[in-house]
Amino acid sequence: MAGWFWWLLFCFACWGPYALLSKLGSNEISAGGMQVLFTLGSIPVVLFVLARRGFKLEKNRKGILYGLTAGVFSAAGSLGFFAAFRSGGNASVITTATGMYPVVTVLLALVFLRERLTWVQVVGLGFATVAFFIFSH
């Protein structure tokens, strides 16, 4: 088994419980509270990364600006993720539905970056449309 495959399983072992714990926490704590705790939880990992790099990061301004913007958008999205759980939706359905964000990324690339859709992506959008239709009922 290739080394990367074990790391992929490690991802699954982290992200699956992450979604389950998000649902369990959201049953009691507001979306804002969950977002605060979620942020605090990610700090030990960031400190580990920083320590491993000797507390040195690249100083590219554009990279930093885009990274910060990604963080703000990601945090706002996570807030919605916790709010969706808190509204009583099924964890499996909400996790799958929110995991379909590449639909938006592909459409944004189409509009703003003038990228062309491949036929595989067109088929993917078709499956996503069916999934959304089912979930919305």
Partner 1 sequence: MHIAPWCWIVGIVLVLWGFTAVFQKLTTNFISAESTLVWRTVGFLLFMPFVYPGKELYHHSAHSVAYGFLAGLLCALGCLGLFAAMKAGGKASIVGPLSALYPIIVVILSPFVLHESITALQGLGVLCGLIAVVLLSI
Ranges within 102-121 binding partner 1 (CB under 8 A): 102-109, 112, 118, 120-121
- Listed in sequence order, the residues at least 6 apart from 24 whose beta carbon sits closer than 8 Å to its beta carbon are none
| Pairwise CA distance, residues 16 & 27, whole Å | 17
Number of residues that bind partner 1 (CB under 8 A): 108
In angstroms, what is the minimal distance from the CB of 114 to partner 1?
13
- Listed in sequence order, the residues at least 6 apart from 81 whose beta carbon sits closer than 8 Å to its beta carbon are 22, 94, 98
Contact between 46 and partner 1 by CB under 8 A: the answer reads yes
CA 32 to chain centre: 17
- Which CB atom, from 4 or from 116, has the smaller least distance to partner 1? 4
- Which CB atom, from 3 or from 116, has the smaller least distance to partner 1? 3
Q: Taking CB under 8 A as the criterion, which residues in 72-91 touch partner 1?
A: 72-77, 79-81, 83-84, 87-91
